[in-house]
Chain A
């Protein structure tokens, strides 16, 4: 027994010693955005089931930023092949990629996702505008042309048509890709409409600082950053029936029996209104492919082509069923063409 254990440990040591482990990776590795994760999982699973000669790709989550960081670590088998992202890659991220030797990146847009505001299903109907959101959740708002600390504590102080509820909003945390869309399409839009930018400039701030003051969220506990996933936001709404949560369209549609969705600018979020560009708070979803790995990692090219097929991302596809808003026909065709042509950023 003791001898056997010793031999086994010796064997384990031998494996560690031969750590230069060099057999080729035969599986696509993907990491990134938790919003894109469910879609990537569906595609990966069906890819594995359809192509019996390739293994099912491994999909890690962890957030857009973390995925891109992993992606930009360099070229080689122990780096990932694809980064999922719920926002476009930033310039400094591209630069850090290039510095690490990832020179050719192919951008693929898979479709759109809508961001919805939802409340408990038994509550009243909500109709929001970007101005309402700004007045309720920004750190400083415009009163008589001047920036003041946000005095609003109830939704009906923001807009008399809204219910008499204490402001309690569960918004995506700063590491979420969703946060950027939330800031850009709601806070900054509302700020501009109400003259917040002028007021900030009048207070002596430059353009950049004015933007930053527009999208600063109040820190007095009325707006709560959720760094986890939407299921955490749902749990908060469950326990605080007068809370307002921010969700992805797909998540809302899967839990429509528990949540009531708010209109934004008078438009009800749905696959149709987002595809038509009517609903204001939507964003494109992407993934980024390392061109140097195409043809080296078995199945990578096939996986991307499979992903871009109308069977997967078209208007009547499993991804659309789950809540992805398909891009218009011409845009999908252009994406496929750009990938086949090997167009890099």
Chain B
């Protein structure tokens, strides 16, 4: 290159310029850049619209209206015939909502004998007070006969009204809260008795038919069980399979066939894995329905190809010189793989695994067929108990008729998105930290 002398350059400059379409080519490049910017802008706009709509609908789900009432644990209501010493069932079946209602009647200064007004109180407090007050009594039976301040959840419709989600200009008969209830609500609000608190219940409750006592608790546990199972099964199997295929197996028709099949499997719709899970794990092996263990197995099958492909790419990216050096220094093939190649490929493997896990976390279709799209109120003690998953809970809430479930659905989406983002950030950090460039 250095041989080109200056005078040849000078003489070429002197000649009239050939038209090499430079203007046209620059224009084409500018257009292409513009298209690129437009494509990104459209993508960002959609993302923005999606996030704003979810967050604006869902942030209210993290707050819940409660009414702080001095509950008098009246023996006459809980245990009218004084049998609790001999029959502990009395404390289970007692009419606890009545206690909350009595406290509210007193707070609002209503005459308890005015049945018509008392009836309007129906639907003001959540029926969840039954479980809440029962738990207080069960923990400490000596509370009977005393008075204690308890935060009782407001019923879902009142909660929505308090948050301003119900249009009060609609005629009274067309909405779920009466004018009288709104008046009481404003009174309690002014007294500071009714207020919004951070909604811890959204994280701790299981599924419920009452919006105010429903949460993602069971779904979170189910999702965590499944993620652990997928990690424990898919990572070792996937890594072992790819090490063998990449480092040990001889290239043959057979390994080529396996490779093609793995790539195809990665593109199989997830519902197919659900069908497989139903046929093999439930109908053939007799594993329980709706259990997160079966869900984990199905998602493992779904994630395996992703992990194998990522791992093989990571292994192939380690330069052959490392292999030659290890072998040259007398390492066995196994030592070479486990002491040199695998540590260098680890960031790539982990990134692929986490992305596979994140995809598995968002799946509902395969879970539908193994009975995990279900109403599950009790916490699963083991992975063999019925459970749901986060995206399933979102789907179930999306189908509810009550308005208050809309905000809970968006709230659950926010929780799921935070989970996914956290997993992706971990993947990025791992890659940044440990990746080596050659």
State the A residues within 8 Å of B (CB).
Answer: 5-6, 8-9, 11-13, 15-16, 19-21, 23, 25, 27, 29, 31, 34, 37-38, 40-42, 44-45, 48-50, 52, 55-56, 58-62, 73, 77-78, 80, 121, 228-231, 250-251, 254-257
Contact = CB atoms under 8 A, between A and B. Distances in A.
B373 interface: yes
B401 A29 contact: no
B100 to A, nearest CB: 15
The 5 closest A-B pairs by CB, nearest first: A56-B377, A59-B375, A60-B374, A254-B401, A229-B399
A27 B386 contact: yes
Given A21-B286, A55-B378, A255-B401, A8 B373 contact: no
B24 to A, nearest CB: 46
B131 A60 contact: no
B288 A21 contact: yes
Contacts of A40: 375
Interface in B354-400: 368, 371, 373-378, 384-386, 396, 398-400
B403 interface: yes
B208 interface: yes
Best-surrounded residue of B290, B375, B378, B399 (most CB of chain A within 10 A): B375
B153 to A, nearest CB: 15
A52 B386 CA distance: 18
Best-surrounded residue of A12, A44, A121, A251 (most CB of chain B within 10 A): A12
A56 B378 contact: yes
Given A231-B399, A231-B400, A257-B170, A29 B371 contact: yes
Given A12-B229, A19-B281, A38-B400, 9 more contacts: A9-B236, A27-B378, A31-B374, A41-B207, A58-B371, A78-B283, A78-B286, A78-B287, A254-B176
Interface string B216-248: 000000000000010011011000000000000
Contacts of B208: 45
A44 B386 CA distance: 14
A60 B205 CA distance: 18
B287 A21 contact: yes
Does more than half of chain B's interface fall in helix, strand or loop, or is it mixed? loop
A232 to B, nearest CB: 9
Given A45-B208, A257-B174, A19 B285 contact: yes
A260 B38 CA distance: 43
Contacts of A34: 399
B98 interface: no
B435 interface: no
Given A55-B378, A78-B286, A78-B289, A45 B209 contact: yes
Chain B's interface size range is: 35 or more
A62 B209 contact: no
A255 B281 CA distance: 41
A257 B399 contact: no
Contacts of A6: 236
Interface in B136-176: 166-167, 170, 173-176
Contacts of B285: 19-20
13 contacts: A9-B236, A16-B297, A21-B287, A38-B209, A41-B209, A44-B375, A48-B377, A58-B290, A58-B371, A58-B376, A78-B288, A250-B401, A254-B403
B290 A60 contact: yes
Contact of B167 (A13, A27, A52, A257): A257
B375 to A, nearest CB: 4
B256 to A, nearest CB: 29
B401 A77 contact: no
B92 interface: yes
Contacts of B179: none
B402 interface: yes
A52 B92 contact: yes
Contacts of A59: 374-375
A58 B400 contact: no
B368 A62 contact: yes
Nearest to A80: B289
B399 A12 contact: no
Contact of B375 (A55, A58, A78): A58
Nearest to B405: A231
Best-surrounded residue of B173, B229, B288, B401 (most CB of chain A within 10 A): B401
Nearest to B208: A45
B282 interface: yes
Contact of B131 (A19, A49, A58, A230): A49
B371 A37 contact: no
B290 A254 contact: no
A58 B374 contact: yes
A60 B371 contact: yes
Nearest to A323: B401
B130 interface: yes
Given A6-B236, A44-B377, A257-B167, A231 B286 contact: no
A42 B211 CA distance: 12
A15 B300 CA distance: 15
Nearest to A55: B378
B93 interface: yes
Contact of B175 (A13, A80, A257): A257
B290 A29 contact: yes
Given A12-B233, A27-B386, A45-B209, A231 B398 contact: yes
Nearest to A56: B377
Contacts of B374: 31, 58-61
Contacts of A256: 173-175
Given A257-B170, A257-B174, A50 B93 contact: yes
Given A21-B286, A230-B401, A257-B170, A48 B375 contact: no
A80 B378 CA distance: 18
B58 to A, nearest CB: 16
Contact of A12 (B232, B377, B378, B398): B232
Contacts of A52: 92
